[in-house]
Amino acid sequence: MSEKTIMLVCNAGMSTSMLVTKMQKAAETQGLDVDIFAIAAADATNKLQEREIDTVLLGPQVRFMQKQFEEKLAPLGIPVDIINMTDYGMMNGEKVLDQAVAMING
Protein backbone atom coordinates (compact mmCIF):
# COMPACT_ATOMS: atom_id res chain seq x y z
CA MET A 1 0.00 0.00 0.00
CA SER A 2 1.55 3.30 -1.04
CA GLU A 3 1.39 6.12 1.48
CA LYS A 4 -2.15 7.00 2.44
CA THR A 5 -3.21 9.85 4.66
CA ILE A 6 -5.69 9.36 7.49
CA MET A 7 -7.14 12.38 9.27
CA LEU A 8 -8.74 11.98 12.69
CA VAL A 9 -11.05 14.77 13.78
CA CYS A 10 -12.06 15.55 17.36
CA ASN A 11 -12.98 18.56 19.51
CA ALA A 12 -9.48 19.77 20.26
CA GLY A 13 -7.15 17.17 18.73
CA MET A 14 -5.76 16.21 22.15
CA SER A 15 -7.23 12.84 23.08
CA THR A 16 -7.07 11.74 19.47
CA SER A 17 -3.32 12.42 19.39
CA MET A 18 -2.79 9.44 21.72
CA LEU A 19 -4.81 7.30 19.34
CA VAL A 20 -2.67 8.48 16.41
CA THR A 21 0.46 7.24 18.20
CA LYS A 22 -1.09 3.82 18.75
CA MET A 23 -2.28 3.68 15.13
CA GLN A 24 1.22 4.54 13.89
CA LYS A 25 2.70 1.72 15.97
CA ALA A 26 0.12 -0.69 14.55
CA ALA A 27 0.92 0.50 11.01
CA GLU A 28 4.65 -0.10 11.57
CA THR A 29 3.91 -3.60 12.85
CA GLN A 30 1.79 -4.31 9.75
CA GLY A 31 4.31 -2.72 7.40
CA LEU A 32 1.84 -0.10 6.17
CA ASP A 33 2.98 3.23 4.76
CA VAL A 34 0.43 5.65 6.22
CA ASP A 35 0.46 9.23 7.43
CA ILE A 36 -1.92 9.63 10.37
CA PHE A 37 -2.67 12.89 12.14
CA ALA A 38 -5.29 14.38 14.45
CA ILE A 39 -6.84 17.80 14.14
CA ALA A 40 -9.50 19.86 15.87
CA ALA A 41 -12.83 19.99 14.04
CA ALA A 42 -12.51 23.77 13.71
CA ASP A 43 -9.28 23.36 11.69
CA ALA A 44 -10.35 20.39 9.55
CA THR A 45 -11.59 22.39 6.54
CA ASN A 46 -8.30 24.29 6.25
CA LYS A 47 -6.30 21.06 6.49
CA LEU A 48 -8.40 19.48 3.73
CA GLN A 49 -7.41 22.36 1.45
CA GLU A 50 -3.72 22.01 2.31
CA ARG A 51 -3.25 18.25 2.05
CA GLU A 52 -4.47 15.28 0.09
CA ILE A 53 -6.49 13.15 2.52
CA ASP A 54 -7.56 9.57 1.78
CA THR A 55 -10.02 9.06 4.63
CA VAL A 56 -11.48 10.93 7.60
CA LEU A 57 -12.44 9.40 10.93
CA LEU A 58 -14.45 11.41 13.43
CA GLY A 59 -14.02 10.96 17.16
CA PRO A 60 -17.22 9.89 18.94
CA GLN A 61 -17.47 13.33 20.60
CA VAL A 62 -17.96 15.00 17.18
CA ARG A 63 -20.23 12.33 15.68
CA PHE A 64 -22.91 15.03 15.25
CA MET A 65 -20.71 16.52 12.49
CA GLN A 66 -20.79 13.39 10.32
CA LYS A 67 -23.42 14.66 7.89
CA GLN A 68 -21.66 17.97 7.26
CA PHE A 69 -18.33 16.17 6.66
CA GLU A 70 -20.01 13.67 4.32
CA GLU A 71 -21.60 16.50 2.30
CA LYS A 72 -18.25 18.29 2.03
CA LEU A 73 -16.14 15.21 1.23
CA ALA A 74 -18.42 13.04 -0.91
CA PRO A 75 -17.75 15.12 -4.07
CA LEU A 76 -14.02 14.62 -3.41
CA GLY A 77 -14.41 10.85 -3.01
CA ILE A 78 -13.12 10.92 0.57
CA PRO A 79 -14.89 8.45 2.86
CA VAL A 80 -15.96 9.56 6.35
CA ASP A 81 -16.92 7.42 9.34
CA ILE A 82 -17.12 7.60 13.12
CA ILE A 83 -14.52 5.82 15.22
CA ASN A 84 -16.10 2.99 17.19
CA MET A 85 -16.69 4.32 20.71
CA THR A 86 -15.23 1.23 22.41
CA ASP A 87 -12.12 1.26 20.22
CA TYR A 88 -11.72 4.98 20.89
CA GLY A 89 -12.18 4.59 24.63
CA MET A 90 -9.71 1.70 24.77
CA MET A 91 -7.30 3.57 22.45
CA ASN A 92 -7.22 0.47 20.23
CA GLY A 93 -4.97 1.80 17.48
CA GLU A 94 -4.92 -1.47 15.58
CA LYS A 95 -8.72 -1.67 15.22
CA VAL A 96 -9.07 1.99 14.27
CA LEU A 97 -6.27 1.59 11.72
CA ASP A 98 -8.04 -1.46 10.29
CA GLN A 99 -11.23 0.61 10.01
CA ALA A 100 -9.42 3.39 8.13
CA VAL A 101 -7.62 0.98 5.78
CA ALA A 102 -10.90 -0.77 4.98
CA MET A 103 -12.46 2.60 4.11
CA ILE A 104 -9.55 3.52 1.82
CA ASN A 105 -9.68 0.16 0.05
CA GLY A 106 -13.42 0.49 -0.41
For each of the chain's 106 residues, which pLDDT tens digit applies? 469 999 999 988 677 889 999 999 999 999 999 999 999 999 998 998 899 999 999 999 999 999 999 999 999 999 999 999 999 999 999 999 999 999 999 8
Closest listed residue to residue 40, CA positions, set 70, 8, 65: 8
Please tell me which residue in 10, 57, 78, 83 is annotated as part of the active site: 10
Has 10 been annotated as catalytic? yes
Domains and CATH numbers, the chain: 4-105 (3.40.50.2300)
Burial 91-102 (b: 16+ CB within 10 A, else e): ebbebbbebbbe
pTM of the model: 0.93
